[in-house]
Amino acid sequence: MNGIDDGSLQNIYATIKIYHRYILWIVLGSLFALDIFTTSVSLHLGNIEKNPLMVPFVNNPFLHGFVKIIAYLFLFVAIEGAVLFIQKKRPESKPFWIRMNFQTLYGIIIFILIFLIGAYLYVVTNNIGTIA
């Protein structure tokens, strides 16, 4: 066998089930940071910003970082606020159809996080391709 028993796998799955949202936030935050870094390097090499909304901010690396950090914090507060709303309503004690609505909302939250990770992975990959 490969050294991993069923008990270890169950512990890993339990840990992922508990911390999956936090892992997604860490990945997204890392991609935000990589986007700031790769955009700054790309601009330093003489390339131009392709996002028209960010053009006014990218010439100053500190302002660029600040805007991205504020955007990340806004997403964090909005999404975690929705999760807190779900947790306060205690959907497990509600009828099935109401519980399904809360589960759907949570699914949408996870989908949004994964979508944002994909979008920023594309941006960072594009930036790295531009730099190379």
DSSP annotation string for 16-29? HHHHHHHHHHHHHH
In a domain, 9, yes or no: no
* Cβ atoms within 10 Å, residue 107: 10
Q: What is the number of structural domains in the chain? A: 1
pTM metric for this prediction: 0.79
pLDDT digits (tens, 9 = 90+) for 15-73: 777 788 999 999 999 999 999 999 989 988 988 888 888 888 888 888 989 999 999 99
In a domain, 35, yes or no: yes
In a domain, 3, yes or no: no
In a domain, 40, yes or no: yes
Which burial class, exposed, middle or buried, applies to 84 when counting CB atoms under 10 A from its CB (0-12, 13-18, 19+)?
A: exposed
Rounded CA-CA distance 65/5 in Å is 44
In a domain, 94, yes or no: yes
- 7-11, 57-61, 91-95: segment of lowest average pLDDT: 91-95
Q: Which domain holds residue 95?
A: 20-131
Spatial CB neighbours of 28, under 8 Å, sequence gap ≥ 6? 72, 75, 113, 116, 117, 120
In a domain, 30, yes or no: yes
| Predicted pLDDT of residue 122 | 95
In a domain, 15, yes or no: no
Longest CA–CA span in the chain (Å) reads 59
In a domain, 63, yes or no: yes
Report which secondary-structure segment, H or E, holds 56: helix 55-58
